Amino acid sequence: MISPFKRLNRRKILSCLLLAALPLASHADDAPLFVPQWLGAQYTFVDQNQSRVHSPYSGPLSLSPNGSTARSHTFGGYFGVQLPAHLQFYLDVEMFKGEGVSNATGLAGLTNGDIIRSGVANLGKGPYIARSYLRWTVPLGDETQAVERGQDQLPGNEATKHIEVKVGLMAVNDDFDKNRYANSTRTQFMNWSLWNNTTWDFAADTRGYTYGVMLGWIMNGWSLRYGIYRMPYEANGQRLISSLSESNGQQIELTLQPNPDGWALRFLGFDNKGNMGIYQQAIDIAEATGQAPDIHADDAPGRHKFGFGINGELPVADNGDTGFFMRTGWNDGHTESFIFTEVDRLLSGGFQLSGVHWDRPDDRLGVGIAIDGLSRIHADYLQMGGDGFLLGDGTLRYGPEQIAEVYYNIAVIHHLTISPDLQFIRNPGYNRDRGPARFAGLRAHVEF
């Protein structure tokens, strides 16, 4: 599934879109056919400091015992084109600079979601195409609803009941595991285990994107989505396997939401097929050779990793701006953690409180906790000195990684928010011999 847009000169694509879209920015609601629309742009800056960590020993991927300070910058421009026959085309261009604390290693629940693994791989720091896909909708009735201009969302009216198809380069978590109160690392929680289900090892390259197909059946009160996507060749790898029959990531999600502004429950299941290792086999080889286990050396095609997740949100006041959220997740923990992070068990939850209660209606306070866990065999692998792609202390005295985060999102002016953020993590990297770790951050986000 190689997109034809990859063959075009990316600078020319971006230049043409900018020239066409900027004059129309004030008239985006017209959404004329064939004319690129500028849908938005964003810049996010994160400055984060990690405290010193109790550390009787360290490995190649440990959280730095001496503390760490890091800054990250992300930039994005988002475009769309309305086409005939309910077709739309979207193109997003992004750029990442900077890094995460401790080089974004040593934790399962990393503390800055905006680095999305770019901090642990030697990727270029120039602009890149993040999304490039076609979206097609098939109305299933006459009832429509208004759709406002937004990232990857052209303005206009759309059938309330419809079939939706997406084909091309996209982010899998744009369509699955969404949550009103814990979904955006740029305005809500920053810890990976709070804005996503970290047991869900969804298909993606190192930056978080992949080629695939998403099918959605959207009705009043419920929806059902299925997606199949290309997997990377190696753990945390940028290069994707082209053959879906050889390697793929599949997920299906049922969402129940009787009232569009009311409670929601989402039930997610996934199955990955790829070139992955098996922890027990890596341990067996290590015991036979007298060396530390190496899951990467055991990689073989056609292996499966599967799991499920439940995601809930409950608005309670302030037109839904105050409410609770929860997630729980499980994966088999038998096959190598390959793409997102190293978590086999998850329980997380918390709440968002609107600033309307202290005369700051656009401000938000968020409090969340998460408990990450490993399967027994995954913990044994790390205890014997094995490394994953984020974890490796040289040994391990296992304990669940326990995370708490508090943020306050301040609406400074229209389009600009500033967010102080505090995080506390016990047993970083599941190691009771290390930590606790404390993180203080400041996030600035501009969005148009």
- List pLDDT tens digits, range 374-384: 999 999 999 99
Q: What is the pTM of this model?
A: 0.90
Sign, Cα dihedral of 166, 446, 185, 275 = positive
pLDDT, position 28: 36
pLDDT 10s digits, 17-33 = 444 343 333 333 456 78
Lowest-confidence region among 2-6, 231-235, 283-287: 2-6
Instruction: Note the Cα 435 to chain centre separation in Å.
Output: 26
pLDDT above 50 (res 82): yes
C-alpha torsion 383→330→63→387, nearest 10: 40
Amino acid type, 441: G
pLDDT above 90 (res 437): yes
Q: Residues with Cβ < 8 Å from 215, sequence gap 6 or more?
A: 163, 164, 165, 225, 226, 227
Q: State the chain's mean pLDDT as an integer.
A: 91
pLDDT above 80 (res 1): no
Amino acid type, 385: G
Binned at pLDDT 50, 70 and 90, residue 298 comes out as confident
Query: Distance (Å, rounded) from C-alpha 42 to C-alpha 29?
Result: 20
Nearest one of 384, 350, 385, 387 to 370, comparing CA atoms: 350
Higher pLDDT, 25 or 45: 45
Over residues 392-415, mean pLDDT: 97
Task: Find the helix or strand (DSSP H, E) in which 271 lies.
Answer: strand 264-276
The answer to whether 266 touches 255, Cβ cutoff 8 Å, is yes
Query: Distance (Å, rounded) from C-alpha 98 to C-alpha 104?
Result: 11
Instruction: Note the Cα 26 to chain centre separation in Å.
Output: 31
Query: Distance (Å, rounded) from C-alpha 104 to C-alpha 372?
Result: 17
